[in-house]
Amino acid sequence: MSATPLTDFSRLCVHTITTKPWSIEEATEKYAEAGVAGMTVWRQWLDGRDIAATGERIRAAGIDVVSLCRGGFFPATDPIDRATAIDDNLLAIDEAEALGAPLIVLVCGADPGQPLEASRDQILRGIEAVLPRCEETNIKLAIEPLHPMYADTRSAVNTLRTANDMCDKINHPLLGVTIDVYHLWWDPELKEQIERCGQAGRIFSYHVCDWRSPTEDMLNDRGLMGEGCIDNRLIRGWVEEQGFTGPIEVEIFSNRYWESDQNEFLEKIKQAYLDCT
């Protein structure tokens, strides 16, 4: 069943990459002015910053730090590269702790030089390798299944079913799933796999945007909610039927919007959030 329309911005979270031209300081100021309730911080936005102070600044502006994007990229044919990836994920956990982010989103990775099954196995082992640090810091990890068009290099986890299977295998309270409508909208099993994910208590975060027709760039042509063919309200309904009441995160990679006035873009996000999310 479709969700009821959103009437305020108390659950609106924006990813720093959505307003890519803005620094973390600019984004903090602008989001606060706009009444955005939450921010998901991409790691590049922390380059050269005092991470703990940045987290304090965001919270002082009245904004929740929802998650850190992104960990993952575990698979590699070379074991040295796999060890490097695990080290980088441990560093991400440290960054999340310093920032005060309770969750790291995992873009799990893939290596086109090996079978997907091998990449999936390396993802499992990578997650297992970093979970002890998660336990020490109480930072959660969310597997984000990515669209099958990214199966060659970005993620060997391409359906919610596969993400749920992986969570079942590891079965750890700090491991769950990020549901992103862009990656999953096409899947005939989506509703039942959202139910499965919810019943296991593993819906850790929820990302929205839209799929434009035609999509002109495989990475950076996402649409605002309502600009494409995704029924955002229906999918949000499925997620909320599972008891999810967390942030609704607007994650839009868009060359066309990044080239536009970011103040106007943020207003469009708010309108699309009310009208089409």
Which residues contact its own copies by CB under 8 A? Answer: 112-113, 115-116, 120, 147-149, 151-153, 158-159, 161-162, 185-188, 211, 213-215, 218, 228-229, 231, 234
- Per the listing, tokens 């890519």 go with 20
Which pair of structure tokens corresponds to residue 153? 């290099």
Query: Which pairing describes strands 12-15 and 175-180: parallel, antiparallel, or unpaired?
Result: unpaired
The letter for the amino acid at 182 is Y
Q: Considering the complex, what minimum distance in angstroms separates the CB of residue 94 from its own copies?
A: 31
Q: Considering the complex, what minimum distance in angstroms separates the CB of residue 230 from its own copies?
A: 9
Which pair of structure tokens corresponds to residue 126? 């990578």
Q: Are residues 49 and 66 in contact, defined by beta-carbon separation less than 8 angstroms?
A: no
CB nearer to its own copies: pick between 105 and 235: 235
- Per the listing, tokens 């850190």 go with 68
Return the ∠ at Cα 117 (arms to 116 and 123), rounded to 5°.
Answer: 90
CB nearer to its own copies: pick between 26 and 192: 192
Q: Are residues 66 and 205 in contact, defined by beta-carbon separation less than 8 angstroms?
A: yes
Q: Are residues 172 and 131 in contact, defined by beta-carbon separation less than 8 angstroms?
A: yes
The closest of 143, 146, 45, 48 to 89, measured between CA atoms, is 143
Nearest-angstrom CA–CA distance, 229 and 9: 23
Q: Considering the complex, what minimum distance in angstroms separates the CB of residue 211 from its own copies?
A: 6
Q: Considering the complex, what minimum distance in angstroms separates the CB of residue 259 from its own copies?
A: 20
Q: Are residues 126 and 86 in contact, defined by beta-carbon separation less than 8 angstroms?
A: yes
Q: Considering the complex, what minimum distance in angstroms separates the CB of residue 246 from its own copies?
A: 26
CB nearer to its own copies: pick between 81 and 152: 152
CB nearer to its own copies: pick between 153 and 271: 153
List all residues 6 or more positions away from 37 whose beta carbon is below 8 Å from its beta carbon.
Answer: 9, 10, 11, 12, 13, 63, 64, 247
Q: What is the CA radius of gyration of the chain?
A: 18
Q: Are residues 256 and 241 in contact, defined by beta-carbon separation less than 8 angstroms?
A: no
Q: Considering the complex, what minimum distance in angstroms separates the CB of residue 147 from its own copies?
A: 7
CB nearer to its own copies: pick between 95 and 144: 144
Q: Considering the complex, what minimum distance in angstroms separates the CB of residue 24 from its own copies?
A: 29
CB nearer to its own copies: pick between 95 and 227: 227
CB nearer to its own copies: pick between 99 and 108: 108
Which pair of structure tokens corresponds to residue 45? 């936005």
CB nearer to its own copies: pick between 171 and 213: 213
Q: Considering the complex, what minimum distance in angstroms separates the CB of residue 185 from its own copies?
A: 8
